[in-house]
């Protein structure tokens, strides 16, 4: 029987609760579709850091690299200063495992309340390919004359052609496989580059040249669009139906996908994958640890379930992934009152049970 080794990092706050529901659904779907999941738990996160003073033990990354994929709950602790766990754990894992793609679908599911007037699941149905290894996230910088009135700070956005090309290749391939034409919901597959070529005339000039060169040469079947990032924010609100697959740098991708998430129903549903197409990928709900809801059995587990769904799709279990997608859509359309914590009409575990039952059918 096909077996996958999955590393589980429940993490902080409500992370372990939502991860447990994702595992429940994963166990149900693997039994149904005839593959096996071999789980290994890791206790990384704020609690461990507070207890031991250590964020990631020696050898942890090497061990994670032996897994087939990783499922992450949430990282972030109210008693730990911002930046420590983010840089020491989440970003370190992304960088050291070279998960150079951050894949963030923006899909409104049926029955989910959308803050955009007149927009439904047909209009909000696109995906952002966020570059995940470079940009201002790794650029050099520093401070001078700190804590004086003359203090100077800098943080540089840096991209190599290599980083840009490998990201664009993934995005074009993704558009070919999962674009609107490929999915039978539109006349063509489109990749839109989101940049700021009017101001970042070095950085996004590199992206734009690489984009058109690669598109012309290897992906003539895919339509190419370009949008400035500020205008993209407007269109994500006014005309999200224009978009199919978008590709952009790390920082712009971070920002526009939070906007995307709120248009698809918020943090209870938004999921993302940190993908190394040649290595080990890590999947996570993008909502964070939501500490005030910890242990109350009220948090929405669907984002974690959707992250696990993306994990199975990336591992090649496409039928199982499709089944989960259908089950989640059924539950949002017919069962849940809201996606917000405490207002779902069901508890965390009940939502997990409903999805698990549906995928087992
Ligand atoms: C995200 C988060 C992270 C990021 C933070 C927590 C470092 O906002 O996954 O979008 O900026 O990438
Ligand atoms: Mn973010």
Are the CB atoms for 337 and 301 separated by under 8 Å?
no
Residue 192 pLDDT class (50, 70, 90 cuts): very high
User: Domain ends where: 248, 264, 280?
Assistant: 264
Same domain for 93 and 122?
A: no
pLDDT at 58: 87
- pLDDT tens digit sequence for 110-128: 999 999 999 999 999 999 9
Residue 151 pLDDT class (50, 70, 90 cuts): very high
The response to whether residue 21 sits with its C-beta less than 6 Å from ligand 1 reads no
Checking if the pLDDT of 139 tops 90, the result is no
When the pLDDT of each residue in the chain is averaged and rounded to a whole number, the result is 96
Same domain for 21 and 87?
A: yes
230 is catalytic: yes
- pLDDT tens digit sequence for 262-309: 999 998 999 999 999 999 999 999 988 999 999 999 999 999 999 999
Same domain for 137 and 240?
A: yes
Expressed as residue numbers, the domain containing 318 is: 1-102+268-361
Same domain for 236 and 125?
A: yes
CATH number at residue 166: 3.40.718.10
- pLDDT tens digit sequence for 17-30: 999 999 999 999 99
50 is catalytic: no
- 90 Cα nearest atom in ligand 1: 7
pLDDT at 287: 85
- pLDDT tens digit sequence for 29-88: 999 999 999 999 999 999 999 999 999 998 999 999 999 999 999 999 999 998 899 999
Are the CB atoms for 339 and 300 separated by under 8 Å?
yes
Q: Where are the beta strands (DSSP E) in 58-121?
A: 69-74, 101-107
The response to whether residue 90 sits with its C-beta less than 6 Å from ligand 1 reads yes
> How close is the Cα of 254 to the center of ligand 1, in Å?
7
The response to whether residue 86 sits with its C-beta less than 6 Å from ligand 1 reads yes
Answer yes or no: is 108 within a domain.
no
Q: How many domains, the chain?
A: 2
Burial 55-77 (b: 16+ CB within 10 A, else e): bbeeebeeebeebbbbbbbbbbb
Answer yes or no: is 175 within a domain.
yes
The response to whether residue 254 sits with its C-beta less than 6 Å from ligand 1 reads yes
User: Domain ends where: 242, 264, 286?
Assistant: 264
> Helix (H, G, I), strand (E, B), or coil: what is residue 114?
coil
Same domain for 82 and 44?
A: yes
pTM beyond 0.85: the answer is yes
> How close is the Cα of 254 to the center of ligand 2, in Å?
5
Residue 351 pLDDT class (50, 70, 90 cuts): very high
User: Domain ends where: 264, 279, 303?
Assistant: 264
User: Of these residues, 66, 230, 238, 292, which one is catalytic?
Assistant: 230
Answer yes or no: is 109 within a domain.
no
């Amino acid at each position: 029987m096909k077996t996958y080794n999955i590393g589980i990092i429940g993490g902080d706050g409500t992370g372990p609760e939502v991860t447990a529901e994702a595992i429940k659904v994963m166990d149900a779907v693997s039994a149904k579709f005839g593959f096996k999941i071999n789980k290994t738990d890791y206790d990384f996160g704020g609690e461990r850091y507070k207890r031991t003073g250590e964020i990631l033990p020696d050898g942890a990354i090497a061990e994670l690299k032996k897994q087939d994929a990783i499922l992450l709950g949430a990282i972030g602790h109210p008693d730990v200063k911002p930046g420590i766990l983010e840089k020491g754990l989440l970003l370190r894992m992304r960088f050291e495992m070279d998960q150079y793609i951050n894949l963030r679908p923006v899909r409104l599911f049926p029955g989910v309340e959308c803050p955009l007037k007149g927009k439904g699941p047909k209009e909000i149905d696109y995906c952002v390919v966020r570059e995940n290894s470079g940009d201002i996230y790794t650029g050099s910088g520093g401070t001078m004359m700190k804590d004086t009135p003359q203090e100077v700070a800098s943080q540089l956005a840096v991209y190599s052609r290599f980083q840009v090309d490998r990201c664009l290749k993934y995005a074009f391939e993704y558009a070919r496989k999962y674009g609107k034409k490929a999915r039978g919901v539109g006349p063509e597959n489109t990749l839109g580059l989101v940049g700021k070529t009017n101001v970042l005339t070095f950085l996004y000039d590199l992206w734009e040249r690489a984009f058109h060169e690669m598109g012309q040469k290897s992906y003539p079947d895919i339509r190419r669009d370009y949008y400035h990032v500020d205008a993209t924010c407007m269109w994500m609100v006014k005309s999200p139906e224009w978009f199919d697959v978008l590709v952009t740098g790390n920082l712009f991708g971070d920002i526009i996908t939070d906007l995307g998430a709120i248009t698809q129903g918020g943090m209870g549903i938004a999921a993302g994958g940190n993908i190394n197409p040649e290595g080990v990928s890590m999947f996570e709900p993008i909502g964070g640890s939501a500490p005030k809801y910890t242990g109350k059995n009220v948090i929405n587990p669907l984002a974690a379930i959707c992250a696990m769904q993306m994990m199975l799709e990336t591992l090649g279990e496409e039928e199982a992934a499709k089944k989960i997608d259908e089950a989640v859509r059924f539950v949002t359309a017919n069962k849940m009152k809201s996606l917000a914590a405490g207002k779902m009409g069901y508890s965390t575990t009940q939502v997990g049970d409903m999805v698990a039952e549906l995928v087992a059918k």
